[in-house]
Chains A and B, each alone.
Chain A
Amino acid sequence: MEKNTSCFFSNSSPNLVITCFVAFITIILVRFLYVIYRTGKPLNKRTPQQTLSTLIVLGSGGHTAEMINLLLVLQKDRFTPRFYIAAATDNMSLQKARMFENSLADSGVKGISAEFMQIYRSREVGQSYVTSVWTTLVATAHALWLMIKIRPQVVLCNGPGTCIPLCVIAFIFKVVGIRWSSIFYVESIARVKRLSLSGLLLYKLQIADQFFVQWPQLQRKYPRAHYVGCLM
């Protein structure tokens, strides 16, 4: 009798495993297609929210200055709590972000909630693309850790390489149902005729819900982008 039972199990468990696996893959695929379909479509107005937790990706050079410029015109009571992430080697950006949040407090804005975090960089400026593969993997693992903690509903980014792992993870969170987010990308004002690498990736992979460019030449070249004029 025991021999029969063991035969029964050893015959059906591979099938069971395969069935489960196929079902899992199918669910993920359907979910993936659903996310692709919904990317870029405005949020359902039947469920408007009062506040949205917001991830703000900062970068060296002009990126942080441009981002602060955008934050100035966004309603702080809607985009809260705010999480600022900058690359570990970027010394100035978090400082500028702290100054910005302090200036909000000084001007009487109530209920300010902001956190400041550093993330390992995918790639340093000038780093070879070959070694960048490993550093990007490390950065992605770190990004995953941070994203699980934050689970933002809005992601704002404007070009630094640090935003790629974060946006990809935000997208994956949408697929597996951890958190639905709206991803906004504003290409830097310094990009007039060609997109940055980050911009190109997010545009082609259709990960960003809305993709903004500041010069008309880019809007002509990338028609799914919104031309919004110069922010600076």
Chain B
Amino acid sequence: MGEARDGVKVKRVVFVTVGTTCFDALVKVADSQEVKDELYRRGYTDLLIQMGRGSYLPIKSTGDDGSLAVDYFTFSSSIADYLRSASLVISHAGSGSIFETLQLGKPLIVVVNEDLMDNHQSELAEELAERKHLYCARPLTLHQTIAGMDLNSLVPYSPGDATPVAKLINRFLGFPEES
């Protein structure tokens, strides 16, 4: 299970994030035995859950008994460091979380919150999943997605570019073109 030469186990962290929202369904299912077993089976060692405004509290575990180590926290001013040290990210469908993760080149499973009223978020997740930049799942299908995912098949996301907009704005306002 990924042991380095000096016998120290290599940490493979799964980072779950719900951003600034309340998404108990994701936190619950990430903490479920089914999902944890599946993650362990796929070679992950740690599960870290950023649970946001939710009320469901995961069960912490050190993972000494041959299972996933589990920890959680509510908020952080910046999750960039957590994303950077993760081997897999499972995120709510907020565009900020999605693009921050994709820009760091991390494998991503986006879980759509079906309890949201006007679920436009799923449009973005589905579109990016179609373009093979990430996997898209519902809380109830998360464990299947984890079981069947092939992270090597994901296409890296090239960062976007705001200069076309800037050009059009400048042209409209009559500013000279930059060379």
Contact = CB atoms under 8 A, between A and B. Distances in A.
Given A212-B165, A228-B164, A228-B165, A194 B123 contact: yes
Contacts, number: 100
Contacts of B8: none
Residue from B99, B161, B173 whose CB has the most chain A CB atoms within 10 Å: B173
A56 interface: no
Report the contact-size class of chain B (Cβ under 8 Å from the partner).
20 to 34
B172 A215 contact: no
B120 A194 contact: yes
Contacts of B10: none
Given A72-B162, A74-B170, A191-B120, 14 more contacts: A62-B95, A62-B96, A65-B96, A70-B165, A73-B162, A78-B175, A189-B95, A190-B120, A190-B123, A192-B127, A209-B172, A212-B168, A228-B165, A231-B165
Contacts of A48: 174-175
Contacts of B175: 48, 75, 78
Contacts of A42: 171-174
B166 interface: yes
Most chain B CB within a 10 A radius of its CB, from A62, A69, A229, A232? A232
B120 A186 contact: no
Contacts of B94: 61-62
A229 B161 CA distance: 8
B88 to A, nearest CB: 21
Interface string B149-168: 00000000001111111101
A216 to B, nearest CB: 10
Contacts of A192: 123-124, 126-127
Bin chain A's interface residue count. 35 or more
A45 B171 CA distance: 10
B145 interface: no
Nearest to A68: B162
B108 to A, nearest CB: 14
B74 interface: no
Q: SS class of chain B's interface: helix, strand, loop or mixed?
A: helix
A120 interface: no
Interface string B115-126: 001001101101
Which has the most chain B C-beta neighbours within 10 Å: A78, A190, A210? A190
B118 to A, nearest CB: 9
A182 B172 CA distance: 9
B174 A231 contact: no
Nearest to B169: A184
Given A42-B172, A226-B168, A232-B159, A61 B123 contact: no
29 contacts: A42-B172, A43-B173, A45-B174, A48-B175, A49-B174, A52-B173, A69-B162, A73-B162, A73-B165, A73-B166, A75-B170, A75-B178, A78-B170, A189-B95, A190-B123, A192-B127, A193-B123, A194-B120, A196-B120, A210-B168, A214-B160, A226-B168, A228-B164, A228-B165, A228-B168, A231-B161, A231-B162, A231-B165, A232-B95
Interface string A125-145: 010000000000000000000
A13 B126 CA distance: 67
A231 B160 contact: yes
B137 to A, nearest CB: 18
Given A65-B96, A210-B168, A232-B95, A191 B162 contact: no
